[in-house]
Amino acid sequence: MFNWEETPELNITPLVDVMLVLLAILMVTTPALVYEENIVLPDGAAKTSISKMPELEIRITKDKKVLIKNDKFELISFPDNFVLLGSSYSKETPVYIKADRTLLYEDVMFVLKSVKEAGFSKVALETGG
């Protein structure tokens, strides 16, 4: 008869041998597999060139004069004058502000705030290096 208290022993040696053989086969054949997919890339629009957006450069001298191209403004009257001048430019136009190093931080920030309030979003302070 059967002895129900006896526990069977598992022999996993053949399973390990089979798995090692399969692993070796996989490792040898994987580098030999080459998969190639032909991709058709779309033609680019090389005929159209991107027009560079004009830049607006604002310079502030040490005697608190604000220069934009050929126009000269006093620092106090700059916000009103810039609103009028800025209406001829797109609000996406990059604006660069250059200031003399002897100016107070407050004066430069006044010009920066005025440009931002006029609706320009791309405003940067330019340094000498």
Q: Is 28 contained in some domain?
A: no
- Exposed/middle/buried for residue 66 (C-beta within 10 Å: 0-12, 13-18, 19+): buried
β-sheet bridge partners, residue 67: 59, 72
Q: Is 91 contained in some domain?
A: yes
- pLDDT of 50 over the 60 cut: yes
Range of the domain at 118: 56-126
Verdict on whether the full-model pTM lies above 0.75: no
**Structural domain count, the chain:** 1
CA distance 67 to 18: 83
Q: Which whole number is the average pLDDT over 47-56?
A: 70
70-116, pLDDT tens digit by residue? 889 998 999 999 998 888 888 888 999 999 888 899 999 999 999 99
Which parts of 13-94 are beta strand (E)? 56-60, 65-68, 71-74
Q: Is 29 contained in some domain?
A: no
Q: Is 41 contained in some domain?
A: no
User: Which strand ranges, in their side-by-side order, compose the sheet holding 65-68?
Assistant: 71-74, 65-68, 56-60, 95-99, 123-126
CA distance 74 to 72: 7
Is the CB of residue 103 less than 8 Å from the CB of residue 62? yes
Q: How many CA atoms lie within 13 A of 21 on its CB side?
A: 6
CATH number at residue 69: 3.30.420.270
Q: Which whole number is the average pLDDT over 16-45?
A: 82
Q: Is 44 contained in some domain?
A: no
